[in-house]
Amino acid sequence: MKRRDYLKNIGLSSLGLAVLNPDARAMEQLENTNGVPKAAALKIPGGRTKDEAERDAKLMAEVFLNKHELDTITILSDIIIPADKKSGSASQSGVTGFIEFIVKDKPELKTPVRGGLRWLDSESNRRFSKLFTQITPAQRINIVDDIAYPEKAKKQFSQGVNFFTLMRNLTATGFYTSRIGIDDLGYKGNTPNEWKGVPADVLKQYGLSYDD
């Protein structure tokens, strides 16, 4: 088949570049002159460039949020998106790990998230003399209800409201871009198919047709 030949050629040309190219060796030498000996060769995942893979590996190795902070995020994200009869909770979908990574990827989130968590613990201490992770679920809701509704929250909680809004947004994005969240929405795409138009019953529901 012609197409198979085509694909074979592609493999050859890209392989050829890596193996045969004297310049590739020269490029490596150039990179090694930075003084730092190269660590074990980085595996570049499909779809990533070398620079991107290096940046990802660096971010993965970085530790920013500590265990207590991550525990607090887990509790908070499950208050925002709990399990229900249709799907699992935020933490079950991996939201904690997502937030752990994204604050390193977008450093401008570091202080709002860390500071917000401190605000939450200090508020919890003020009300219940314990950290947010140590109080009862009902006590947690007592605090959350004061910061979850931007339009009716008291002014004194405005910083907490901002933090909770950020956590709601991060949790929703993390959840609905996970396998569990995508299945919850029922998204049916990202797979080879044939588009034949809007289903007839849907057209009827909205009083539309393809004949107009």
Partner 1 sequence: MINNSIYIQSQQEVFDVVIVGSGAGGGMAAHTLTKAGAKVCLLEAGQPFDPADPKYITQLKWPYESPRRGTGTTRAFGDFDAAYGGWEIDGEPYTRKNGTKFDWFRARMVGGRTNHWGRISLRFGPDDFKRKSIDGLGDDWPIGYDDMKPFYDKIDKMLGVFGTNEGLRNDPDGFFLPPPKPRLHELMIKKANKALGIPTYPSRLSILTKSINNERGACFYCAQCSRGCSAYADFSSSSVLVKPAMATGNLTLLPFAMAREVMTDAATGLATGVSYVHTGTLQEYSVRGKIVMLAASAGETARLLLNSKSSRFPDGIANSSGVVGKYINDSTGASRSAIIPKLFDRKVYNEDGVGGLHVYTPWWGDNKKLDFPRGYHIEYGGGMGMPSYGFGWGIEGLNGKENYTRDGLRKAAGGYGATLKEDYRRYYGSYVGFSGRGEPVPREDNYCEIDPNVVDKYGIPVVRFNYKWSDYEIKQAKHMQDTFEQIIQEMGGDALGKKPGADTNYGLADPGRIIHEVGTARMGNNSSTSVVNSNCQAHDVKNLFLADSSPFVSQGDKNATWTILALSLRTSEYIIDQRKKANL
User: Which residues from 98-127 bind partner 1, rule CB under 8 A?
Assistant: 98, 101-102, 105-106
Binder among 42, 150, 154, 204 for partner 1 (CB under 8 A): 150
Stretch that binds partner 1, among 67-75, 116-124, 129-137, 146-154 (CB under 8 A): 146-154
In one-letter notation, the amino acid at residue 208 is L
Classify burial at 179, counting beta carbons within 10 Å of its beta carbon; exposed 0-12, middle 13-18, buried 19 or more: exposed
What tokens appear for 81 in the block?
Answer: 């998106």
Stretch that binds partner 1, among 35-43, 66-74, 120-128, 144-152 (CB under 8 A): 144-152
Stretch that binds partner 1, among 65-73, 115-123, 125-133, 203-211 (CB under 8 A): 203-211
Does residue 200 belong to the site contacting partner 1 (CB under 8 A)? no
Interface residues for partner 1 in 164-183 (CB under 8 A)? 164-165, 168-169, 172-179, 181-182
Q: Which long-range contacts link 70-73 to residues 24+ away (Cβ below 8 Å)? A: 70/96, 70/100, 71/133, 72/117, 72/120, 72/121, 72/131, 72/132, 72/133, 73/99, 73/100, 73/117, 73/167
Q: Which is nearer to partner 1, 155 or 188 (CB)?
A: 188
Binder among 34, 35, 211, 212 for partner 1 (CB under 8 A): 212
Angle between helices 50-61 and 95-105 (to 10 degrees): 110
Does residue 185 belong to the site contacting partner 1 (CB under 8 A)? yes
d(CA 201, CA 174): 33
Minimum CB distance to partner 1, residue 3 (Å)? 7
Does residue 33 belong to the site contacting partner 1 (CB under 8 A)? no
